[in-house]
Structure 1
Amino acid sequence: MTDPVLVQVDDGLMVITINRPEVRNAIDGAVSYGVCAAVDELDARSDLRVGILTGAGGTFCSGMDLKAFLRGESTRVKHRGLMGIARTPTEKPLIAAVEGYALAGGFEAALACDLVVAARDAVFGLPEAKRGLAAAAGGLIRLPRVIPQRVAMEIALTGDPVDAQRLHAYGLVNRLTEPGGALAEATRLARRIIDNAPLSVAASKQVILEQRDWSTEESFARQDEITSTVLTSDDAEEGARAFAEKRKPKWTGH
């Protein structure tokens, strides 16, 4: 039996591949729990710094496996939502590398990632309204936070697809590539992050994700709680010393 989720680790980077190309990488229970297990390993291992989520066979993910849904199979991880990332974001940066289609739950999985790299001909969409469903795995919440609300409203209410180039113009897609190049570009982006201090990266991600719920009055105090240990870390001293000595820093994560 083919493994529904493939995991490859290389020098600080974990690549997680949804491996059901025969059904355009539709999400069933095995996929959801398989990705969840992979991101848990990503966060738990000190030697891993960044993850990439992608799909096999030229498609990112076509969404929930409707056949699995009809036979009563749970396609979400209990208490954590779709693939374990819809309701519980990873601690470490996660990049979506999108080729082909990212629809419904597939689009929601990309939205749950921190960064998105997509091929120019990639297609995104929330077609749930066309199926009598709702994009309740994060799509209706996250989409209007990253693109204009009226555009998000149109995408959700019509269920019509939208191309990667339009979403790049709105800032949802970080980088566009030629078809077939999304994973390679996502890997280059990941390497840029891996070059940086792990404590700095972790604190930066945490502040950016949490600050939307902070009031203006408390924002700097809340930020200081997260970043103070970074500024007094061994890596902060190492970064300054490496800059002065014109060499690449050697991070310890302390």
Structure 2
Amino acid sequence: MRAPDRSDSNLWVGLQEAAARVEDLIAALPDPGARTHTQRAELAAAKDAARALRVRYLDTHADAVFEHLADGLRIEELVAAAADAYPGLVPTDKQLAADRGRRQADKEGWEIDQGIFLRAVLRSPLAGPQVLDAMLRPTPRALRLLPEFRRTGVLRTRSVLLERRDGAAHLTMCRDDCLNAEDGEQVDDMETAVDLALLDEEVRVGVLRGGEMSHPRYRGKRVFSAGINLKSLHAGGISLTGFLLRRELGYLRKLVTGLLTDHAGAWHSRTVEKPWIAAVDTFAIGGGMQLLLACDQVLAASDAYLTLPAAREGIVPGAANFRLGRHAGPRISRQIILSGRRIWATEPDARLLIDEVVEPGELDAAVARAVARMQAPAVVANRRMLNAVEEPPEEFRRYMAEFALQQALRLYGEDVIDKVGGFAGRAG
């Protein structure tokens, strides 16, 4: 790795001094939960001053910074490499380790500084596309498991069951204890399963569905997804890079765009794409509804509902702000995202989001019909052309650049911390 470019020496020195001031204050203060109002205000002012300088530096030097880092890095690796090459620009492993294991309310908020860096990198026409491409590569875990999946057609993890049947990859979310509420482990399992479905030549179409629950309220019933695991967020287990950005730029985008990997047809189609069907039992809440917006066909039981409770939780609902409008239009999108409107499968507006509604006992047959339709030879080419119009890569990149920072800020909003603390305290 070459030495970092420090050509704007006055700004760089000022940033180093501001970063050192923050570190000195933290070292002199008690743990976050024990600080006085005055101490918190003094530290917040110091952090704001350092962050303003980071933004100024990256506004000018983001491309130069990126060029000094190794090629093909995923976002988790990219922020770690930047911390080594540019001390003070992004948080170090030591700083992040000190926050690891703390409740969200007791963290220092270093992920906001990661968000500043990632916003600058993603919005760069030079760096941003390279980062997005790196996130479309198959994960090492998927490549390791691929030979066994090709042989058996089955992958079982704690969070998912992937089964290949008659050319379809049936991906069942099976966190039965928490209604398929996503945490870091489930994101890893989902990306692995999506990679395997896209890499396996015998798979022509994918199906997403929730499994049967052991949760007391829904025991024995299938549930699609309850969204983000708020108890995990309260406990500090939801990270910006390992969960929120990995989820959006990893398996969710792979559902839409496909997998970037060496393949026979790479000269005419740079990614391996397959159509995806979602079948909704009971509800698709938050991140569950976000999943539907990345699929080609959505089926639902007549007693199911969809909702994005962003206003209640206080965070940004991933790329739903980017995708929902093309399905439902601006007015309904604002009702769902800003006001938490619940859409029942049988109401007229649901036709904008759901392709077919059937009685709960008929959903299996509806899935079989959809799988047959989606295996038609021209489906892949036509979905590629539809997505080229509906989700242009440059617009998606610009959206995700801003999302990286805005979501990081929301993670540490006082309202979010108060609300997830309330959710975490609920039984069942």
Alignment of 1:42-121 (within 5 A): 42-57=197-212, 58-74=222-238, 77=243, 80-82=246-248, 84-88=250-254, 89=256, 90=258, 91-121=273-303
Q: In structure 2, do the counterparts of structure 1 residues 60 and 78 end up closer, same or farther at CA, with 3 Å as the change threshold? A: closer
Q: In structure 2, do the counterparts of structure 1 residues 83 and 25 end up closer, same or farther at CA, with 3 Å as the change threshold? A: farther
Question: 1:10 corresponds to which residue?
Answer: 165
Kindly state the Cα deviation for residue 99 of structure 1 after the two structures are TM-superposed. Answer: 0.5
Q: In structure 2, do the counterparts of structure 1 residues 79 and 103 end up closer, same or farther at CA, with 3 Å as the change threshold? A: closer
Kindly state the Cα deviation for residue 19 of structure 1 after the two structures are TM-superposed. Answer: 0.3
Kindly state the Cα deviation for residue 28 of structure 1 after the two structures are TM-superposed. Answer: 1.2
Mapped contact 2:301–2:359 kept (Cα < 8 A): yes
Kindly state the Cα deviation for residue 187 of structure 1 after the two structures are TM-superposed. Answer: 2.5
Kindly state the Cα deviation for residue 96 of structure 1 after the two structures are TM-superposed. Answer: 0.6
In 2, Cα distance between the equivalents of 1:181 and 1:73? 38
- Bigger proportion of residues as helix: 2
Give secondary structure in 1 for the equivalent of 2:381: helix
Give secondary structure in 2 for the equivalent of 1:52: strand
Question: 1:237 corresponds to which residue?
Answer: none
What amino acid maps onto 1:210 in structure 2? A
What amino acid maps onto 2:310 in structure 1? E
- What TM-score results when the alignment is normalised by the length of structure 1? 0.75
Mapped contact 2:343–2:349 kept (Cα < 8 A): no
Superposed structure 1 runs of 4+ greater than 6 Å apart:
none
What amino acid maps onto 1:67 in structure 2? K
Alignment of 1:235-254 (within 5 A): none
Q: In structure 2, do the counterparts of structure 1 residues 31 and 183 end up closer, same or farther at CA, with 3 Å as the change threshold? A: farther
In 2, Cα distance between the equivalents of 1:5 and 1:54? 10
Mapped contact 1:118–1:182 kept (Cα < 8 A): yes
Question: 1:191 corresponds to which residue?
Answer: 372
Kindly state the Cα deviation for residue 193 of structure 1 after the two structures are TM-superposed. Answer: 2.1
Task: Pick from 160, 176, 181 the counterpart of residue 341 of structure 2.
Answer: 160
Task: Pick from 307, 328, 336 the counterpart of residue 125 of structure 1.
Answer: 307
Cα distance per residue 1:182-229 (max 9 Å; x no partner): 3431222112222x22xx222111101002367xxxxxxxxxxxxxxx
- What TM-score results when the alignment is normalised by the length of structure 2? 0.46
The alignment yields a C-alpha RMSD, in angstroms, of 2.3
What amino acid maps onto 2:321 in structure 1? L
Q: Name structure 1 gaps, 5 residues minimum.
A: 215-254
Count of residues paired in the alignment: 210
- Bigger proportion of residues as strand: 1
Task: Pick from 155, 158, 170 the counterpart of residue 351 of structure 2.
Answer: 170
